[in-house]
Structure 1
Amino acid sequence: MTGQPIPVIIDCDTGVDDALALLFAVRHPGLDLRAVTCVAGNTDVDGVVHNTLTVLEQAGAPDIPVARGAARPLIEPARSARHVHGVDGMGDLGLPAPRRGRAAVDAVTLLYREILGSPTPVTLIPTAPLTNIALLLRTHPHVTRNIERIVFMGGAVATGNATPVAEFNVWHDPEAAAVLLTAGVPITMYGLDVFTRVVVPGADVRRLRESAEPGTRLAGELLAHRPSAPDPDGDDPAGGLGDAGAVCAVADPAGLTTRLLPVEVSLAPGPTRGQTVVDRRPRPGESEIHGGAREQALVDVALDVDVDRYVKLYLETVERG
Structure 2
Amino acid sequence: MAQKIIIDTDPGIDDAMAIAYAIAHPDIELLALTTIFGNVRTHEATRNALALLDHWGSEADVAEGEAKPIAMPANEPSYLVHGLNGFGGVEIPVSRRKKHSLKAVDYIIDASKRHPGEIVLCAVGPATNLARLLERDPEIVSRLKGVVVMGGAVHCKGNVTPMAEANFWNDPHAADMVLGASWPLVLAPLDCTMPVLFTPDFMHALARESPTLGRPLADMAEFYARFYRSHLGLGGCVPHDVMAISWLTVPGAFRLQKGALGVLTDGPAIGQTIFQPGGTRSRATVFEGRPDHLVMVDTDPGLFMADYMMVMTRYAR
Q: Distance in 2 between matches of 1:214 and 1:101?
A: 23
Return the TM-score normalized by structure 1: 0.89
Q: Distance in 1 between matches of 2:263 and 2:228?
A: 30
Q: Distance in 2 between matches of 1:308 and 1:292?
A: 37
Q: Which residue of 2 aligns with 1:251?
A: 249
SS at match of 1:240: coil
SS at match of 1:226: helix
Q: Distance in 1 between matches of 2:237 and 2:200?
A: 7
Give 1:1-321 correspondences, 5 Å limit.
Answer: 4-61=1-58, 63-79=59-75, 80-118=77-115, 120-157=117-154, 158-210=156-208, 213-227=211-225, 238-267=236-265, 269-280=266-277, 283-285=280-282, 287-288=283-284, 294-319=288-313, 320-321=315-316
Q: Distance in 1 between matches of 2:88 and 2:228?
A: 18
Mapped contact 2:123–2:148 kept (Cα < 8 A)? yes
Kindly state the Cα deviation for residue 191 of structure 1 after the two structures are TM-superposed.
0.3
- Give unpaired runs (5+ residues) of structure 1: 231-235
Q: Deviations over 1:36-86 (max 9, x none)?
A: 10011111101000111111122121x211011100100122221111110
Q: Deviations over 1:178-207 (max 9, x none)?
A: 111233111111001111122223222112
Q: Distance in 2 between matches of 1:293 and 1:154?
A: 19
SS at match of 1:141: coil
Return the TM-score normalized by structure 2: 0.90
Q: Distance in 1 between matches of 2:15 and 2:32?
A: 14
Kindly state the Cα deviation for residue 218 of structure 1 after the two structures are TM-superposed.
1.6
Closer, same or farther: CA 211–111 of 1 in aligned 2, 3 Å: same
SS at match of 1:17: helix
Q: Distance in 1 between matches of 2:32 and 2:202?
A: 29
SS at match of 1:277: strand
Q: Distance in 2 between matches of 1:104 and 1:139?
A: 18
Kindly state the Cα deviation for residue 248 of structure 1 after the two structures are TM-superposed.
0.9
Structure 1 letter corresponding to 2:64: R
Mapped contact 1:205–1:238 kept (Cα < 8 A)? no
Closer, same or farther: CA 145–292 of 1 in aligned 2, 3 Å: closer
Structure 2 letter corresponding to 1:195: T
Mapped contact 2:116–2:144 kept (Cα < 8 A)? no
The Cα RMSD (Å) is 2.2
Kindly state the Cα deviation for residue 149 of structure 1 after the two structures are TM-superposed.
1.3
Aligned residues: 308
Q: Distance in 2 between matches of 1:296 and 1:162?
A: 26
Kindly state the Cα deviation for residue 145 of structure 1 after the two structures are TM-superposed.
2.0
SS at match of 1:273: coil
Mapped contact 1:134–1:177 kept (Cα < 8 A)? yes
SS at match of 2:134: helix
Kindly state the Cα deviation for residue 238 of structure 1 after the two structures are TM-superposed.
3.1
SS at match of 1:96: coil
Structure 2 letter corresponding to 1:170: F
Kindly state the Cα deviation for residue 21 of structure 1 after the two structures are TM-superposed.
0.6
Q: Distance in 1 between matches of 2:48 and 2:206?
A: 20
Q: Distance in 1 between matches of 2:199 and 2:222?
A: 10
Closer, same or farther: CA 134–238 of 1 in aligned 2, 3 Å: same
Q: Distance in 2 between matches of 1:145 and 1:281?
A: 22
Structure 2 letter corresponding to 1:301: V
Closer, same or farther: CA 129–272 of 1 in aligned 2, 3 Å: same
Q: Deviations over 1:97-132 (max 9, x none)?
A: 122221111111111111111154211100000001
- Give unpaired runs (5+ residues) of structure 2: none
What percentage of aligned pairs have identical amino acids?
Answer: 28
SS at match of 2:90: coil
Mapped contact 1:108–1:132 kept (Cα < 8 A)? yes
Structure 2 letter corresponding to 1:71: A
Kindly state the Cα deviation for residue 91 of structure 1 after the two structures are TM-superposed.
1.1
